[in-house]
Amino acid sequence: MQIENEVFILNFNEGDEAFAEEILNSLEPEQKRIMDFFGIEKLSKKVEIIFYNNLQDFIDLRTENGKYPERYNGWNVATVKNGNIHILNFDLYHNAPQHEDTTLEDYKKVLVHEFVHACHEEILLNKNIMPALLMEGIATQLSRQTKYDLNREIECDPQDLAKNFYNIKLSYVYAYEIMGYLMATKSHEDLLKILREPHKIDVAELVEKTNDFIENKQSLQK
């Protein structure tokens, strides 16, 4: 079954109509905010959201997608493929030990996070190069996933963070902090230039400046 608006198409099972409508209603105010940030008037196509009721089907998709080829660890619950969002249904998401303390509002933020990815891909000048560091950074910031806001300095090798993002402990925290620095210090126009060609960023310099930024914040808070 499906419901849709001008941006999203939600695919859901019979009996989940009320849940799907709640999700769509929660996304409607977010879609304009995110699209306005990226300067997008209209997406190239509607974004389909596919809810998975079977964990193995989702794992198979992730493996096929090649984004997370390592053994499934329970943390990742959604992905974007061909501009569409694939996500575990809320029960599977909430019942995983890694997410048992999360709420429906956290789940909705995951969907916004994935929508940010879909919009970001629309403005990329080279869609074959999508560095995870800045893509996850802007997605965590714009989805307001404040659980990553630990005000924590980056304590890993910058090149390892850039090239091995999904296997780095606290990588999402670091991405959130790096994008927080960029959003605080760059004009919106300059930030969009970076996001159009994120592969051109000097990661070592960016990490150094982010750590200085965090250190200054920590000094002001004392």
| Segments making up each domain of the chain, as ranges | 1-123, 126-222
Average pLDDT over residues 188-213: 97
- Give the list of residues 6+ apart from residue 167 with CB closer than 8 angstroms, or none: 70
Residue 156 has pLDDT above 90, yes or no: yes
Residue 144 zone, left/alpha/beta (φ > 0; ψ -120 to 50; rest): left
Chain-wide mean pLDDT for the chain? 92
Quick one: average pLDDT of 69-84?
79
Q: Express each pLDDT in 55-69 by its tens digit.
A: 889 888 877 755 555
Q: Are strands 47-52 and 84-88 parallel, antiparallel or unpaired?
A: parallel
Note the pLDDT tens digit of each residue in 23-35. Answer: 999 999 999 999 9
Q: What is the pLDDT of residue 14?
A: 86
Dist. CA 104–CA 108, nearest whole Å:
6
Confidence tier at 96 by pLDDT (50, 70, 90) = confident
pLDDT above 80: residue 137 = yes
pLDDT of residue 61: 85
CA gap 47, 104 in Å, rounded: 21
134 Cβ contact partners less than 8 Å away, ≥ 6 residues apart: 175, 178, 179, 194, 195, 198, 201
pTM, rounded to two decimals? 0.93
- For domain 1-123, the CATH class is alpha beta
